[in-house]
């Protein structure tokens, strides 16, 4: 069933990743605690969000297309012309992002793969890299004369393989070398597939 792991994924990301980011920004990027808070954006809504992050990474403007992979042209036609459809455009909201004063502007997508064989893992990897590409492909939006919103230089996929078979790790290791290299060289997408 699609989306069945979303609740687990959010819990995993909140507990093991998002709370550790401010410390990472301080240690690795040399930011002060306040600079780390300013640089860090997260969609998580935990009780300490305001203490660790300065806001949400949601895009200011809505996108003409949704980040879903494989959406048909007919479904877009329905959204654009059928006034009964409530949301003809979609707001992008990655899991978290870094902005200035962090030295790099990076948008992050997280995935938790809990079960499934190699074909399921390949599908999840394609969808996740596509989502990173989707975020990277959105145009910068001027917010003020000196600051632009949504001007991320890089995207990073953080995928954790919790499956017994380690299918996601095996799928990533089997990707053709030119595709692996192309994620970084052609798209500025860094893929991290972490084994359990």
**DSSP character string of 35-80:** HHHHHEEE----TTHHHH-SB----SSPBSS-S-TT--HHHHHHHH
141-142 and 148-149 strand pairing: antiparallel
Structure confidence at residue 150 (pLDDT): 82
What residues have CB less than 8 Å from 154, skipping those under 6 apart?
A: 104, 105, 106, 107, 136, 188, 189, 190
Identify the band that residue 129 occupies on the pLDDT scale cut at 50, 70 and 90.
Answer: very high
By three-state DSSP, how is residue 153 classified? coil
Residue carrying the six token digits 């979303």: 6
Q: What pTM, to 2 d.p., does this model score?
A: 0.87
Question: pLDDT, tens digit, for every residue of 53-89?
Answer: 998 898 888 888 888 777 888 888 888 999 988 888 8
C-alpha 3/C-alpha 190 separation (Å) is 24
Signed CA dihedral, 160, 136, 118, 10: sign only: positive
Structure confidence at residue 158 (pLDDT): 97
Structure confidence at residue 181 (pLDDT): 96
Identify the band that residue 91 occupies on the pLDDT scale cut at 50, 70 and 90.
Answer: confident
Structure tokens at 73: 């042209």
Q: Where are the domains of the chain?
A: 6-195
Identify the band that residue 147 occupies on the pLDDT scale cut at 50, 70 and 90.
Answer: low
Structure confidence at residue 185 (pLDDT): 96
Question: pLDDT, tens digit, for every residue of 161-190?
Answer: 999 999 999 999 999 999 999 999 999 999
Can you tell me the mean pLDDT for 143-165? 84
Structure confidence at residue 195 (pLDDT): 93
Other CB atoms closer than 10 Å to residue 150's CB: what's the count?
22
Say which residue, 141 or 8, is predicted with more confidence. 8
Q: What is the mean pLDDT of the chain?
A: 88
């Amino acid at each position: 069933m699609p989306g069945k792991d979303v609740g687990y994924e959010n819990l995993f990301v909140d507990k093991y990743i998002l709370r550790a980011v401010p410390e990472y920004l301080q240690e690795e990027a040399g930011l002060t605690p306040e600079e780390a808070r300013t640089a860090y954006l997260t969609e998580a809504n935990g009780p300490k969000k305001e203490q660790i992050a300065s806001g949400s990474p949601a895009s200011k403007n809505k996108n003409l297309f949704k980040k879903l992979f494989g959406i048909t042209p007919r479904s877009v036609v329905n959204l654009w012309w059928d006034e009964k459809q409530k949301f003809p455009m979609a707001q992008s909201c990655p899991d978290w992002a870094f902005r200035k004063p962090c030295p790099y502007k990076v948008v992050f997508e997280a995935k938790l793969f809990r079960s499934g064989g190699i074909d399921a893992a390949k599908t999840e990897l394609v969808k996740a890299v596509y989502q990173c590409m989707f975020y990277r492909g959105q145009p910068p939006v001027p917010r003020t004369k000196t600051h632009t919103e949504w001007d991320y230089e890089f995207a990073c996929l953080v995928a954790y393989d919790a499956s017994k078979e380690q299918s996601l790790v095996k799928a990533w290791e089997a990707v053709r070398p030119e595709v692996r290299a192309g994620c970084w060289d052609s798209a500025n997408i860094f893929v991290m597939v972490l084994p359990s």
